[in-house]
Amino acid sequence: MTLLSHDRHCSEIVTQTRLLTSHIESADLTTPVPSCPGWNAGQLLRHLGGGQRWAETLVRTRATGPIPDHHFRDLSEYTHEDPAVLGPWLTEGAAGLADALREAGPEAELWTPVPDRTARFYARRFAYETALHRADAALALGAEFTLDEEVALDALDEWMELGSLPFHFDVHPWMRELLGPGRTLHLHATDTAPESRAEWVVDLTGEAIVWRRAHEKAAVAVRAPLTDLLLLVYKRRPARGEGIEVLGDGELLDFWLERVSFA
């Protein structure tokens, strides 16, 4: 269940891209991106823009299977990028994807890498793919990164939904090792109003990964501002640091973050 509409997700693809391009004006795009080892800022942006164009093609053609994606996986030729070229290129790609998604509508059927099989998946996924790569660029280039509260809430919900899909156990068998008695985690945003219900419980005690929005006692609790929680689960910031409080079984938190493969 998504908090935001299909149209809002489409708008966020454009908004997050616009904010990202503001980070790179006059920037040195050869700067390494610590959260994406092996990439510099220019390569990061080529990866994101290539992914947006890839998704636009899938949506416009109503693809029934995956299409080649090597052009945004192999980034070896993008080591010295020019912000004056990349900015407009990113803007154009984001607008093209948003237009394709709006034209298709949320229920349009097409191939997706998860069981959803609708255009809705790509609108939500690329809203947050773009936002998180904006965070990567901001962290690398020394820019500030903030997110609108309802966007951050929906982004964390999406991470929980995708990270708990049962097929992960087949693709990443080591994730099954997360399951065990007494293994529960509680994430609590410290900078939101009570009506936002910005608390998540991850329950690893059964045969599958289960999550819910709830205030419950758990083996380990993490308290931090909402955006920091999002960056934490995406492994963009460490679990021990300023503004983050870990209570209880810190080893379980570390194990969970290590084994969850959706990132």
The gap from C-alpha 84 to its chain's centroid, in whole angstroms, comes to 26
H-state helical runs in the chain? 6-23, 41-61, 83-104, 119-141, 149-163, 168-171, 226-233, 250-259
pLDDT of residue 71: 85
- When pLDDT is cut at 50, 70 and 90, the band that residue 26 belongs to is confident
Annotate 176-200 with b (16+ C-beta within 10 A) or e (fewer): eebeeeebbbbbbbeebeeeeebbb
21-37 burial: b if 16+ Cβ within 10 Å, else e: bebbeebebebebebbe
Residue pair 13/127 in contact (Cβ under 8 Å)? The answer is yes
Q: How many CB atoms lie within 10 A of CB 210?
A: 14
Name the pairing type of β-strands 220-224 and 184-189. parallel
Q: The pTM is what?
A: 0.95
Whole-number percent of the chain with pLDDT over 70: 98
State mean pLDDT over 2-10. 93
Q: Comparing 6-145 with 155-259, is the CATH topology the same?
A: no
Q: What pLDDT, on a 0 to 100 scale, did the predictor assign at position 262?
A: 62
Residue 139 tokens, joined: 């962290």
Asked if the model's pLDDT at residue 39 lies above 80, the reply is yes
Residue 125 β-bridge partners: none
Mean pLDDT of the chain: 95
- Angstrom distance (rounded) from CA 48 to CA 41: 11
Burial class (CB in 10 A: 0-12, 13-18, 19+), 241: exposed
**Amino acid (1-letter code) at residue 71:** H
70-96: average pLDDT: 95
Nearest alpha carbon to residue 233 among 253, 212, 204, 206: 253
Fold of 155-259: Nonspecific Lipid-transfer Protein; Chain A (3.30.1050)
Question: What is the rounded CA–CA span in Å between residue 135 and residue 91?
Answer: 17
Tell whether the model's pLDDT for residue 76 goes beyond 60.
yes
The pLDDT of residue 171 is 86
Report residue 223 as tokens: 């308290």
**For the chain, domain boundaries:** 6-145, 155-259
The domain 6-145 is classified under which CATH number: 2.60.40.10, 1.20.120.450, 3.10.270.10, 1.10.10.1100?
1.20.120.450
Q: What percent of the chain has a predicted confidence (pLDDT) above 90?
A: 90
pLDDT at 263 over 60: no
